[in-house]
Amino acid sequence: MRKVGACRDKILYEISAVLETSAVAVEEIVYAPGLCVERHAHDTHSLIYIIAGTHWSSYSRGGEACHPRTVRFVPAGEPHENYFPVRSRCLAIDVRRAIAGPPPGRLAQPSAPTLGARLHHEFRQRDDLSALGVEATVLELLLIDRHDERRGPAPAWLLRVREMLREERPTLAELSRAVGRHPVQVSRQFHHYFGCTISEYVRRVRVGRAQSLLSRGNMTVAEIALACGFYDQSHFTTAFGRLAGMSPRQWLMAKR
């Protein structure tokens, strides 16, 4: 078992088990509550099966919160960001072979939770057939016919709203004028497609960016606060603590 970033009894994430083949690499990971991961992309396809807790992600087509027994897919090169509001245990699968997969997001078919549970079961068997079972189940998940009738991709104007929120401090009125939509529609549709409110999204983006800058170690906490859009260091520390469950300095110590 390999632990990463311990601060007293606080662990940012913990890799508790690993299984690797030529086709896939699977890790069982426990994420600490409050961990924000800023926008990034992977070189290979990824599948995530949520064993316990909640795993929120935002993609190019929208965003959502995934709960236990759900599976989400992130294609290679797909920009996404994550937030873990509570302690979460997941299987993270890195697909090493090039293969066409479904669109990014939660796999909505009724069979997806069953396949995810089977994947977890095979992973935990740890015998001479585990690798075969894991690879076969991953292939089934990748080739699943994903069709979510409840919701398609986020419209282009809503994706523009999200990008404005990442770079500016617009008001709701300014957002609505920029995309030609009523403020109520902007607010409701953002929550519908991204699974969080506008203000929650901005907080997650700022804290995720702050955590990344803290990891680099070349800026003071005060400098990071201003760089990430907070009014001052006090405002930054309060907002950071609400999401991450610890102060910026404690978080930095945990990363070392």
Encode pLDDT of 157-181 as tens digits: 999 999 998 887 788 888 888 999 8
* pLDDT tens per residue across span 138-156: 888 888 765 444 457 889 9
Residue 195 vs residues 181, 189, 228: alpha-carbon distances, Å: 19, 10, 23
CATH topology of domain 156-255: Arc Repressor Mutant, subunit A (1.10.10)
- Domain positions in the chain: 2-142, 156-255
Q: Is the pTM of this model over 0.75?
A: no
User: Could you check whether 2-142 and 156-255 share the same CATH topology?
Assistant: no
CATH of 2-142, one of 3.90.1170.30, 3.30.70.270, 2.60.120.10, 2.130.10.10: 2.60.120.10
Mean pLDDT of 207-215: 88
For residues 244 and 36, the answer to whether their CB atoms sit within 8 Å is yes
Residue 51's φ and ψ, nearest 5 degrees, are: -85, -45
In the structure encoding, which two tokens stand for residue 67, read together?
């709960």
Looking at residue 8, its pLDDT comes to 47
Share of the chain above pLDDT 90, in %: 33
